[in-house]
Structure 1
Amino acid sequence: MLGKCKRPEKAHELFQAMIDEGCAVNHESYTALVSAYGRSGLFDKAFSLLEQMKNTPDCQPDVHTYSILIKSCLQVFAYDKVQALLSDMESQGIRPNTITYNTLIDAYGKSKKFAEMESTLVEMLSEQDCEPDVWTMNSILRAFGNSGQIETMEKCFEKFQSAGIQAKLMTFNILLDSYGKAGNYEKMSAVMEYMQKYHYSWTIVTYNVVIDAFGRAGDLKQMEYLFRLMRSERMKPSCVTLCSLVRAYGLAGLPEKIDGVLRFVENSDVMLDIGFFNCLVDAYGRMGCFAEMKGVLEIMEQKGCRPDKVTYRTMIKAYSANKMIGHVKELRELMESTEGSQMTWLHREKPDFR
């Protein structure tokens, strides 16, 4: 848990306390500490501990230890370290398992390293005890779907199904998302009908995917219907849901609808993040609602959310598009200013943008 909270020093203190108090430490204890270091990007310490495990009786690293460290390396694109770990596993006589292969396939797919993804799948298929599963299928479908390779995605889906791997709810969410991003609303609707026919209950992820897809397509009527349906089923909208609504209304040039989203936010307990506020800034900027765009900074201050570089760059882009050079200059200076003076510009007298 300390590792997941990015507190590896505390995790190490606890590990040392176990030893000091005479508790037996085994390879699981070591693996937990390796994971804590890996999650925080402290690879020197993680690899050093891995070597220590090899030389400690009854604490030899296993496939789980290596898989955890491989995943941490993949998250920061340290592919050289991944190859070193795979070679080390082979020298130790430890074979990758399904989780190891799925971790590699998912990471390669997200990075659009399709050759590496496919070669890993081929290697996985050559192993007797490493059958691909629904996680393997989902990772590959997501990789091709996100890159717009819809035909390849569909062929892979057919092959996995013919191999006896059954689609799960997450699989349908991936298909919906892929078709939505590709603008293939006919196939997206077909997946929705299939899910309804075979009683697949929608989750927040499903709703977010279809709400975003119809919003991007400009079908606000269907988007709003799905949002109402979501709420009628007592499903709590997330920041992702609200961002989709704001983005759609911004593209449609409907600032009054965005005001409605903000009223909903005020009467709900949805935890807002920087992504939502940046989405608001972008929507108002697109519509030329500069007073409202600047007002988002006030809302952020009230909510205790600090603007980031994306916030300011989005505002600069909007001002630049409308040749408002003075405001562009002020914001650039603000980005370079010290932390203590970052909100100074916000409290200046508001100019009349009309």
Structure 2
Amino acid sequence: MEVDNIVQPDQRLCNLMIYSYGKRGLIEEAFHLSRKMKASNIPLSIVTFNTLISCQPSLEASENVFRQMQRNDIEPDVVTYAARIGAFAKARQVEEAEYFFRVMIASGIRPNRTVYNVLMDAFANCKMVTKAEALLKEMKLNKCSPDVHTYSTLMNAYVNASDMEKAERVIQRMEGSDIEPNVVTYGTLIKGYADQGDLESMVKKYEEMTEKKMKINHAVFTTMLQAFGKYESLDRAKDWFQEVVRAGFKPDIRAQNTLLGLSEPLYRREEILEFLENVS
């Protein structure tokens, strides 16, 4: 009688499965597999814990995994710190994010571009432009080259602080460093002008973007749609929606809901529903 060979899972395969669970938001399944690894005497590695930390939905959950990692006598690496700093940044606890950045450096771990960008994002979201500029300077001094994400995040700091003049200058600084702006860069400026109701500048940035053969994304589309509806009219928003769809863009459900949300007074809601059905 022939017996099929059963392939036993190893550490690498388990870590890949935990990563897959985490990406899909199946956190309990990821934890369950880590417990099965332990029960099967498959060692939990730094990769296991880093993956678990990165997929946690809250700061508290992330810190619980970190403490579990410490109990297993596993030393954090740069990926661990990036995940922890990111968790504090997401919770808008900027001082703590910066503190652990300094702890990482004091531990002899050199921050990489990902870590710098994560901390830059924390400063940007809290409108801390001085801190963001200082971090960029420190990054360069430490021979870590900023990328398009770094500069786009710095730009976002100025946008959040309602300083569009300095936000615009970031593009010049990028070009001076031979870094090409991307759709996120232009989307950041477009959002800044949209928030201020400056639709002329918003459209100008969109035109610059398309001249560079960049394709619009859902974030830019929805931002502009909202701005047209808020500061001009529902009809202008409809025209914009139709114009972009005719150019080959496929709006997502968020964009459709945005247009529906602009349908005031309510009697125009039926009109918008019919419009969406016809353009889809």
- Structure 2 length-normalised TM: 0.80
Counterpart pick for 2:178 among 143, 153, 164: 164
Higher relative contact order (CA 8 A, sep 6+): 2
Work out whether 1:114 is the aligned partner of 2:129.
Answer: yes
Amino-acid identity (%): 22
What pairs up with 1:197-276 in 2 under 5 angstroms? 197-232=211-246, 233=248, 235-247=250-262, 249-250=263-264, 254-263=265-274
Contact 1:34 1:50 (8 Å CA) reproduced? no
Counterpart pick for 1:186 among 193, 200, 222: 200
Work out whether 1:49 is the aligned partner of 2:60.
Answer: no
- Post-superposition Cα deviations, 1:114-167, rounded to whole Å, max 9, x if no partner, equal 232222222212111x11111111112122223321111112221122121111
Q: 32-41 or 214-223, which moves further after superposition?
A: 32-41
Counterpart pick for 2:165 among 131, 146, 151: 151
Shift of 1:74: 1.4
Q: Secondary structure at the match of 1:41?
A: helix
> Which residue in 1 is equivalent to 2:47?
28
Q: Distance in 2 between matches of 1:196 and 1:6?
A: 35
Q: Distance in 2 between matches of 1:8 and 1:221?
A: 44
Q: Distance in 2 between matches of 1:222 and 1:9?
A: 46
Letter of the structure 2 residue corresponding to residue 100 of structure 1: V
Q: Distance in 2 between matches of 1:218 and 1:38?
A: 38
Q: Secondary structure at the match of 1:42?
A: helix
Contact 1:134 1:167 (8 Å CA) reproduced? yes
Q: Distance in 2 between matches of 1:74 and 1:5?
A: 22
Letter of the structure 2 residue corresponding to residue 116 of structure 1: K
> Which residue in 2 is equivalent to 1:330?
none
Contact 1:38 1:46 (8 Å CA) reproduced? no
> Which residue in 1 is equivalent to 2:90?
75
Larger Rg: 1
Counterpart pick for 2:151 among 137, 140, 145: 137
Q: Distance in 1 between matches of 2:108 and 2:182?
A: 34
> Which residue in 1 is equivalent to 2:33?
14
Compute the RMSD of aligned alpha carbons: 2.7
> Which residue in 2 is equivalent to 1:279?
none
Change (3 A) 1:80 1:141: closer
Work out whether 1:175 is the aligned partner of 2:189.
Answer: yes
Shift of 1:184: 2.4
Q: Distance in 1 between matches of 2:184 and 2:217?
A: 9
- Post-superposition Cα deviations, 1:284-318, rounded to whole Å, max 9, x if no partner, equal xxxxxxxxxxxxxxxxxxxxxxxxxxxxxxxxxxx
Q: Distance in 2 between matches of 1:188 and 1:155?
A: 16
Letter of the structure 2 residue corresponding to residue 196 of structure 1: T
Letter of the structure 2 residue corresponding to residue 255 of structure 1: L
Q: Secondary structure at the match of 2:60?
A: coil
Change (3 A) 1:70 1:203: same
Contact 1:141 1:174 (8 Å CA) reproduced? yes
**Matched length:** 259
Work out whether 1:105 is the aligned partner of 2:120.
Answer: yes
- Post-superposition Cα deviations, 1:26-80, rounded to whole Å, max 9, x if no partner, equal 2111211233457462254233134246x34xxx422111101110121112335
- Structure 1 length-normalised TM: 0.65
